[in-house]
Amino acid sequence: MSYLRWTIRSWSLLLGVVLYFSCSCQPKTNCYKNKGELAGVIRFLELIRFQPRGFCKVEYLIVIPLDGCQGCVSRMLSFCTENISEKSITFMLSSSSGKNIESCIKNHGFSKSIILIDDNNLLHRLSISLENPIFIRFEDSRICTYEVLKPGNIDSLLLDVESQLEACSL
């Protein structure tokens, strides 16, 4: 009897996880912690004329501030190196120093034609957090999720990205 109960719970949990990742995101303004910063991000996207490429239903923009938390920045640079060819992810480097950006591009072998560069320090001028990487998820070309990456949420967000990449490539 306990084996049956365990099996039912296992299948229920699995079904819950599958439904969670397969349901579409409903844009909500209350999911943003700092509405002023969200307005800055929207303004930033308008100024750089960013548009999701339209390769997948779900796409991502990941902004990596090279002056920020080095643990998160190095993790995101590794993720960028591994996924630089993914068409549904756009990476952007930001720094208060152009030398930091040039050094990063050289050290990681990135191409300037693939990565967006905030060389005008626009994020800082719009008062957008530059301490940690910024994760923006688009669904149907609209902002669905905006998160500041921190050690507590980085693993779950990257897992979400990887599962969406697999779904997009099918």
What's the N-to-C CA distance of the chain in angstroms? 39
Model pLDDT for residues 116-150, shown as the tens digit of each residue? 888 777 777 777 767 888 888 888 878 888 888 88
Note the pLDDT of residue 32. 46
pLDDT, averaged across the chain: 75
Joined together, the tokens standing for residue 82 give 């591994």
Note the pLDDT of residue 15. 39
pTM for the model: 0.71
CA triple 25-39-100, angle to 5 deg: 95
Whether residue 106 is predicted with pLDDT greater than 50 in this model: the reply is: yes
Name the region of 97 (left: φ>0; alpha: ψ -120 to 50; beta: rest): beta
Contact between 136 and 146 (Cβ < 8 Å): yes
What is the spatial distance between Cα 112 and Cα 134, in angstroms, rounded to a whole number? 20
Q: What is the mean pLDDT of the segment spanning 84-96?
A: 85
Identify the structural domains of the chain with CATH numbers, from first to last: 27-169 (3.40.30)
